């Protein structure tokens, strides 16, 4: 479960940019929150039938004054990890969409990006690591990851 501050920005990030698909959504009027369950496209049928594997985005609605809780000290989450077919291609595509590569895939195996809610997303190369290559090899870390 990941608590998100802006549901639209988070859905754009997780669905439009990372390629996850919305499986289901539940609005809880009494509790003033929305749950959105997402899955990888290859896991969609299993996620619909078994409710897993999914990522749950929890959006707590603003209070009556319009303010929202700030999620500090890990109240929102640690990090997620996804395996990708080609770490370099994935990072290039993300960068082209304006996503900062916080920890570039210098080793051909691992990279980190962050969601709109500053959740660290670890990207891992499926199978064997790729041979190190530029521009990734000499690219420094950016911000926190």
pLDDT band at residue 78, thresholds of 50, 70 and 90?
low
Omega before residue 135 within 30° of 0, cis: yes
pLDDT bucket at 6, cuts 50 / 70 / 90 = very high
pTM (predicted TM-score): 0.78
The answer to whether the CB of 37 falls within 8 A of the CB of 54 is yes
Mean pLDDT of the chain: 91
Q: Is the pLDDT of residue 106 over 90?
A: yes
The stretch 117-134 carries a mean pLDDT of 93
- Copy the structure tokens of residue 82: 């996804």
φ, ψ at 95 (rounded to 5°):
-60, -40
Q: How much helix, strand and coil, in percent to the nearest 5, is found in the chain?
A: 20, 30, 50
- Residue 37, pLDDT score: 94
* Angstrom distance (rounded) from CA 49 to CA 61: 28
Q: Which domains occur in the chain, in start order?
A: 2-60 (3.10.180.10), 77-145 (3.10.180.10)
Where in the sequence numbering do the catalytic residues fall? 122
DSSP E strands in 8-141: the ranges are 20-28, 33-40, 55-60, 79-84, 110-114, 120-125
Q: How far apart are CA 43 and CA 69, in angstroms?
A: 32
């Amino acid at each position: 479960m990941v608590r998100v501050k802006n549901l639209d920005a988070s859905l754009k990030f997780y669905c439009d940019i990372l390629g996850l698909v919305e499986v289901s959504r539940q609005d809880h009027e009494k509790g003033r929150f929305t749950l959105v369950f997402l899955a990888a496209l290859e896991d969609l049928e299993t996620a619909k039938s078994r409710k897993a594997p999914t990522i749950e985005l929890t959006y707590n609605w603003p209070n009556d004054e319009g303010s929202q809780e700030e999620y500090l000290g890990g109240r929102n989450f640690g990090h997620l990890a996804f395996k990708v077919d080609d770490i370099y291609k994935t990072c290039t595509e993300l960068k082209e969409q304006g996503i900062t590569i916080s920890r570039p895939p210098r080793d051909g195996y691992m990279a980190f990006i962050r969601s709109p809610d500053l959740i660290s997303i670890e990207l891992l190369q499926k199978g064997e690591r790729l041979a190190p290559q530029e521009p990734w090899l000499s690219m420094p870390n950016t911000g926190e990851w």
